[in-house]
Structure 1
Amino acid sequence: MPNIKVIIPAYNEEESIHLVINDIPPIVDEIIVVSNNSTDNTEKNAKKAGATVLFEKQKGYGYACLKGMTYIAEQETQPDIVVFLDGDYSDYPEELTKLVAPIIDENIDFVLGSRVKELREQGSMTMPQIFGNWLATRLMRLFFGSTFTDLGPFRAIKYDKLLNLKMEDKTYGWTVEMQLKALKQKLSYKEIPVKYKNRIGVSKVSGTIKGAIFAGVKILTWIFKYSFK
């Protein structure tokens, strides 16, 4: 089996983080939870559940992901595959095996968990999220010939390909940046339908008007930036 590491950005997810960790399949070599300046028991609960816990004081989804990548880069043994998922228990961590299978069996570079409507729990995605995903993926199809249908956070990628992407976004543009750079570098990719449920707690992005607007602006900025490069 390949060496697989999981990075979970988490901000105040004390009620859910242990559930996420416990549901991750045993094929994973290390689970890395990056506490993004949490002020609750996220770190304590993650450690108790068996994860490696890092602390990133600078708030931002991308900051947390980059912290996890820096930690991995400093290890003696590098992984073959890195998986990203959220710490709010909206994903089904046991579906990780579905995401890594195309990489292992078909040599695909990048696999995205697509939150298709028929597998989504009612109310698990807000209208701004649904519209934002629709608009972003339509623009990606228009400008890049992409077949992406979602910007879902549950994703798996070969570690060497991830490094080549030279990820840089520090906040809400992380997911779309990865997909755009994967398209630009002509990585092989595949979408796998995944289940999605209502998260535990309140969303830090879609749960606020400010967060939803900021995320939308970041996503569109990345798309137009790469469209005219």
Structure 2
Amino acid sequence: MTTSLIIPAFNEEEAIGLVIEEYYPFVDEIIVVDDGSKDKTYEIASHYQDAKVHVFQHTQNQGKVGALLTGVRKSTGEIIVFTDADCTYPARYIPVFLSELNRGADLVLGVRNIEAHNIPLFNRIGNAVFSTMATYISGKYISDGQTGYRAFRKEMMDELLVSAKSLEFETKMTVRAAKLGYVISEVPIEYRERVGTSKLHPIRDGYRMFRALLSIAWHETSPLAKMISVPGLFLLLAGIGFGLISVQERLLNYYLIHEYYPLISVFLMLFGIQLTSIGLIIDYLSKKMDRIEERIRQSFIKKE
């Protein structure tokens, strides 16, 4: 199987050459998409053009997702690998990714070793929160849904394509794959300190990721699961409401006017969480069974 590496780049003149050189021996094709950079990213990348390296340019910035989609459209490989243009993801894991795909994985994620020296504290907390949310929504354990280093078969792109503008694309794509019942494999990788200036905006991008997860949770959940989960969410919110009233009474009056509100709050929240979880588990299992049935059907077709 031929492998195409997609590198979206925006103002990455310090790192783009290093990334191309590092990945060159590991893939069959490298697609660099300069997304309207204001520096020398396009010029530097163009110096590496040959039969294997192809460089394209957006005249105006279209965002990371736009650059990735352009790269996929221009690619010729059967396997697509996404990476970043900042030198954070080592190329040596490509053979491991391909091995996982050959063993039956549909989507391979490079799980970063998140430490103090390579990711700021605020970003580490955000990554843990959103990975936990992604795990809960999808019904499958996802330890790093935000990683930009991933591999999958090109034929899957249409199903994995999600509506996104920026860094929430990776999270949304990961959860969608899990909700559809695809096999997700995680490969632990080294995560290096980036070369150049970070373009991550924690508050803005965090809000987008949160909104993206809610969007996937709603649109990719089956009607049966929604019938169970939605009442659970209302019960959870009601429980939080009773809890806030209790806290307010305790702070303002130094005693509880409604003594049973804390008990009601705990009961409603626990019951709401259980109902929501049952709905999401049912959704995950039904999607997984559909995927297994599809694979069995495809194996019979190939034998015939």
Range class of TM-score, shorter chain: 0.7 to 0.9
What is the CA deviation profile of residues 147-182 of structure 1, one whole-angstrom value per residue up to 9, with x for unaligned ones?
A: 111111111111111222233312221101210110
Residue identity opposite 1:213 in structure 2: I
Structure of greater relative contact order (alpha carbons < 8 Å, 6+ residues apart): 1
Tell me which structure has the larger Cα radius of gyration: 2
Counterpart of 2:112?
115
Determine the C-alpha separation between the residues in 1 that align with 2:194 and 2:112.
13
Query: Is residue 2:71 matched to residue 1:68?
Result: yes
What is the CA deviation profile of residues 196-215 of structure 1, one whole-angstrom value per residue up to 9, with x for unaligned ones?
A: 1111111011xxxxx21111
What is the CA deviation profile of residues 64-121 of structure 1, one whole-angstrom value per residue up to 9, with x for unaligned ones?
A: 111212223xxxxx422100000010111222222222002x021100000024xx5x
Any idea what SS the aligned residue of 1:67 has? Answer: helix
Any idea what SS the aligned residue of 2:132 has? Answer: helix
Counterpart of 2:198?
203
Query: Is residue 2:94 matched to residue 1:92?
Result: no
Determine the C-alpha separation between the residues in 2 that align with 1:49 and 1:128.
36
Determine the C-alpha separation between the residues in 2 that align with 1:131 and 1:139.
12
Counterpart of 2:209?
219
Any idea what SS the aligned residue of 1:52 has? Answer: strand
Any idea what SS the aligned residue of 1:192 has? Answer: strand
Counterpart of 1:101?
99
What is the CA deviation profile of residues 102-147 of structure 1, one whole-angstrom value per residue up to 9, with x for unaligned ones?
A: 002x021100000024xx5x42112232111111111122222121
Determine the C-alpha separation between the residues in 2 that align with 1:214 and 1:93.
30
Counterpart of 1:130?
124
Query: Is residue 2:195 matched to residue 1:192?
Result: no
Residue identity opposite 1:97 in structure 2: P
Structure 1 segment 139-154 matched on structure 2, within 5 A: 139-150=133-144, 151-154=146-149
Any idea what SS the aligned residue of 2:43 has? Answer: helix
Determine the C-alpha separation between the residues in 1 that align with 2:30 and 2:43.
14
Residue identity opposite 2:210 in structure 1: L
- Number of aligned positions between the proteins: 214
Residue identity opposite 1:145 in structure 2: G
TM-score by length of structure 1 reads 0.88
Runs (4+) off by over 3 Å: none
Tell me the C-alpha RMSD between the 2 structures.
Answer: 1.6
Which 10-residue stretch deviates more, 122-131 or 191-200?
122-131
Determine the C-alpha separation between the residues in 1 that align with 2:169 and 2:216.
14
Any idea what SS the aligned residue of 2:93 has? Answer: helix
Determine the C-alpha separation between the residues in 2 that align with 1:26 and 1:167.
31
Unmatched tracts of structure 1, length 5 or more: 73-77, 206-210
**TM-superposed deviation, 1:27:** 4.2
Determine the C-alpha separation between the residues in 1 that align with 2:153 and 2:169.
17
The answer as to whether partners of 1:133 and 1:149 remain within 8 angstroms in 2 is no
The structure in which a higher percent of residues are helix is: 2
Counterpart of 2:243?
none
Identity %: 28
**TM-superposed deviation, 1:39:** 1.4
Counterpart of 1:183?
178
**TM-superposed deviation, 1:195:** 0.4
Residue identity opposite 1:107 in structure 2: G
Residue identity opposite 1:90 in structure 2: T
Residue identity opposite 1:66 in structure 2: L
**TM-superposed deviation, 1:25:** 4.9
What is the CA deviation profile of residues 36-81 of structure 1, one whole-angstrom value per residue up to 9, with x for unaligned ones?
A: 1111111121122233111122341111111212223xxxxx4221
Counterpart of 2:54?
52
Residue identity opposite 1:115 in structure 2: R
The answer as to whether partners of 1:91 and 1:197 remain within 8 angstroms in 2 is yes
Determine the C-alpha separation between the residues in 1 that align with 2:45 and 2:134.
36
Counterpart of 2:292?
none
C-alpha spacing 1:116/1:27, structure 2 compared with 1 (3 Å): closer
Counterpart of 2:162?
167
